Structure 1
Amino acid sequence: MAAAKPSLGRVLPGSSILFLCDMQEKFRHVAYFPQIVSVAARMLKVARLLEVPTVLTEQYPQGLGPTVPELGAAGLQPLPKTCFSMVPVARQELDARPQLRSVLLCGIETQACILNTTLDLLDRGLQVHVVVDACSSRSQVDRLVALARMRQSGAFLSTSEGLILQLVGDSAHPQFKEIQKIIKEPAPDSGLLGLFQGQNPLLR
């Protein structure tokens, strides 16, 4: 019997959804917060150009405040939650899209809502692409171990630009010139080199 073909983790606009997790005022102290929000804003701009649906959540907004304006999420209705996963409040969005295959995940904190959202999505049989330059934690140890944990569980660790270019697919795409403007400048440094350098055993 032939071995099962491994999942390649390809992403297509028609079968993908963008999840934006809890980028709120009271989380500004999270490491690399401005950079994380900047990269997530890029992902949102591209999602809008390619008509990729988007889900935005806020963790206990009464206490932790609204989504920061820098994300550029005007027009999105945030889903309030208390659970450390986006999936319970996003279930209706997921169930309404039987063609859905891939979830692109950005936000904070990596060891909490990002990790638990990833596990819940994997449990539903969906591919999860964690946008590593758009996720962070207060503790960089928590961030690193959570990334390793998600990878061990079957999630894909991807950069924003890598995912954007997969989504657009072809320089002949009618939206490519607009997308090219978005990625013309490299994504801001969010401390990833320090996590990945030195053959880190957690990410082998």
Structure 2
Amino acid sequence: MDPSSTLILLCDLQERFRPAISGFDHVVATTNKVLKIAKVLGCEVLVTTQKTKALGPTDPAIALESLGPLHIGTFDKTLFSMLTPEVLSQITTRPHIKNIVLIGIESHICILQTALSLLVHPKKYAVYVLADGVSSCNPAEVPIALAQMRASGAIVVSSESLGYQLVRDAAIPEFKAFGNIIKEEKETTSKTVDTLLGRL
């Protein structure tokens, strides 16, 4: 993996869903860790919301403003897949993108349909799904969705493993900042992994 060819898609993490989604706070914690890593390494981030007029904006606990120009936009949708015409345009006009990382909700609906759509795209993107960065209202749906995505060709990975795959080499200048994020997030990551991955 290379940060310059990796795009992170953040799906529908809206405040209105907080009471309904299993482990929502843990998904937010993983998201913020990944955003810190994205900022250090220079990965672009694209965000979707589901019917903002009815369901409100992205949860304010998610630190999108910290990304600056790496946040290439937030796009509202009614489609379950994130791949609306607007979003597809953003992706396809970036020919350098080879890897797409999915974070958000719900695992068995929007994340699943986005992954399946990307996997049949003619460009043959490598699709990564963060096991500690997705969830659903019913936690029993998550392992079923992850299994279907894996069987279809998606790579299911943890956020920390993804970070190290993006860094690749401890000799790079960004490694110190990356290492500090991993240390700062160690306790939160441990709780998140125990909660979200423990159910798998």
TM over 0.5: yes
Give deviations 1:140-185, integer Å, cap 9, x for gaps.
Answer: 1211111111011000000000000111111111111111111111
Counterpart amino acid of residue 158 in structure 1: V
Tell me the residue number matched to 2:13.
23
Give deviations 1:77-115, integer Å, cap 9, x for gaps.
Answer: 311111001112311111111122110110000011100
Percent identity at matched positions? 38
Instruction: Kindly indicate which of the two structures has a greater share of residues assigned to helix.
Output: 2
Tell me the residue number matched to 1:152.
151
Give deviations 1:36-92, integer Å, cap 9, x for gaps.
Answer: 011011111111211111101111011111111211012543111110011123111
Counterpart amino acid of residue 83 in structure 2: V
| Distance in 1 (alpha carbons) for counterparts of 2:7 and 2:196 | 26
Query: Any unmatched runs of 5+ in structure 1?
Result: 1-10, 196-204
Runs of 4+ aligned structure 1 residues displaced above 2 Å come to: 188-191
Counterpart amino acid of residue 135 in structure 1: V
| Distance in 1 (alpha carbons) for counterparts of 2:40 and 2:90 | 20
Residue 114 of structure 2 corresponds to residue 133 of structure 1:
no
Query: Any unmatched runs of 5+ in structure 2?
Result: none
1:129 CA displacement: 0.4
Give TM-score, length-normalised by structure 2. Answer: 0.88
Q: What do you get for the CA RMSD once the two structures are aligned?
A: 1.2
1:122 CA displacement: 0.5
| Distance in 2 (alpha carbons) for counterparts of 1:191 and 1:58 | 22
Q: Alignment partner for residue 78 of structure 2, among 73, 77, 82?
A: 82
| Distance in 1 (alpha carbons) for counterparts of 2:9 and 2:154 | 14
Q: Alignment partner for residue 57 of structure 1, among 48, 65, 68?
A: 48
Residue 185 of structure 2 corresponds to residue 193 of structure 1:
no
Tell me the residue number matched to 1:143.
142
Q: Which has the larger radius of gyration?
A: 1
